[in-house]
């Protein structure tokens, strides 16, 4: 019985050591880095106490320059690639509210070159990004396909994105 408790304790220590080293990757203006969310932890009898990195705490409370990362929302994204989209495209274009990206640039920046058929890419990536953005931020994300020709089956060459503020009258009247 003692061996089982010791193994559980060792497993917990290993897990906690790995957990405190997990970082939040970010891109801010021309800089990128990783922010460690947990400063340290304490184990006392049956209690485990975590201490949040003060820098992260200030970012969550929007008290430092990292407020632009909108961590209160981005930490809730279901997909990691949504976070990459948010940091790579949305933050840069929040003021304009509209932006155009070639499909190749978009796929390359998010690391999704394995999708040959646009239908699969749209279903597995774009619609999930839209869901994450719409459900966790103050914006509604819409996109239109840019095609090589006007034909129905023409190859998609780019994406036109549009952001609508949910709090604006226009955003409140839209149905999705």
At 67-122, the pLDDT tens digits run 777 888 888 899 989 988 998 888 888 888 999 999 999 999 888 888 889 999 99
Give Cα separations from 37 to 42, 47, 69, 75, 176 (angstroms).
15, 20, 14, 11, 34
Region of 70 on the Ramachandran plot (φ > 0 left; ψ -120 to 50 alpha; else beta):
left
* pLDDT at residue 1, rounded to an integer: 43
In this prediction, residue 4 has a pLDDT band, given cuts at 50, 70 and 90, of low
Please tell me which residue, 175 or 76, carries the higher pLDDT value: 76
Mean pLDDT of the chain: 83
The CA distance from 133 to 40, in Å, is: 31
Of 16-20, 52-56, 81-85, which range is least confident? 16-20
User: What residue spans define the domains of the chain?
Assistant: 1-69, 70-176
* pLDDT at residue 174 tops 50: no
The most confident of 7-16, 62-71, 135-144, by mean pLDDT: 135-144
Indicate the pTM of the whole model: 0.70
Contact between 137 and 72 (Cβ < 8 Å) = no
> So what's the architecture of 70-176 in CATH?
Orthogonal Bundle (1.10)
- For residues 17-32, give the mean pLDDT: 76
Please tell me which residue, 3 or 25, carries the higher pLDDT value: 25
* pLDDT at residue 102, rounded to an integer: 93
């Amino acid at each position: 019985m003692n061996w089982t408790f010791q193994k559980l304790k060792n497993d917990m220590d290993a897990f906690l050591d790995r957990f405190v080293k997990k970082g939040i990757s970010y891109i801010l203006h021309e800089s990128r880095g990783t922010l460690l969310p947990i400063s340290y932890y304490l184990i006392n009898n049956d209690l485990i106490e975590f201490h949040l990195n003060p820098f992260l705490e200030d970012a969550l409370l929007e008290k430092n320059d990292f407020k632009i990362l909108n961590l209160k929302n981005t930490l809730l994204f279901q997909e990691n690639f949504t976070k990459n989209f948010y940091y790579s495209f949305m933050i840069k274009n929040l003021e304009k509210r509209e932006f155009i990206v070639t499909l190749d640039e978009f796929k390359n920046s998010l690391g999704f070159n394995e999708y040959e058929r646009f239908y699969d890419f749209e279903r597995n990536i774009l619609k999930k990004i839209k869901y994450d953005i719409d459900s966790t931020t103050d914006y509604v994300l819409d996109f239109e396909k840019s095609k090589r020709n006007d034909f129905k089956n023409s190859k998609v060459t780019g994406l036109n994105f549009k952001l609508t503020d949910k709090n604006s009258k226009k955003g409140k009247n839209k149905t999705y």
